[in-house]
Amino acid sequence: MTDNVAEKAHVNRQGGTRSRALMREAERLGRWAEKHLLSLKADHISGVDNVQADWLSRSQVDHSEWSLHPSLFLTLSHRFGSPAVDLFATPLNAQVSRFFTGFPTQG
């Protein structure tokens, strides 16, 4: 899914001629898809219906947001005890029920 019509066209046509950079990315994606997928098709989703993902893709990556792999977290929790709170987490990556986040969340 993409909210960019040009990207959708490049993926579905396996390239284009106007943007060399986009053509290179489409070729790279096509080579990867040949090895890993049976088929590849892009669909359009309007920006209005994709507000959160659109905002996340346009915002800068917060390199301070890291988390342990869940299996490593469980191993460490068994050995040292489970933490009471997960600091700097999000609803998607919190590993205990109580957490603090730098983003507004519901709930």
Residues 19/7, Cβ–Cβ less than 8 Å: no
Q: Quick one: average pLDDT of 2-15?
A: 72
Does one domain contain both 68 and 38? no
Instruction: Tell me if 106 is assigned to some domain.
Output: no
* 10 and 41 belong to one structural domain: yes
Contacts of 43 (CB under 8 A, 6+ apart): 1, 2, 8
Q: Decide if 67 is inside a domain.
A: yes
Mean pLDDT (the chain, rounded)? 80
Residue 19 lies in a domain: yes
How many structural domains compose the chain? 2
- Is residue 105 one of the residues assigned to a domain? no
pLDDT of residue 96: 93
Query: What pLDDT does 34 receive?
Result: 87
CA R_g for the chain? 20
pLDDT at 17 over 80: no
pTM for this prediction: 0.40
| Same domain (yes/no): 24, 54 | yes
Residue 31 domain boundaries = 5-59
Q: What is the pLDDT of residues 55-84, one digit of tens each?
A: 776 766 665 567 888 999 999 999 999 999
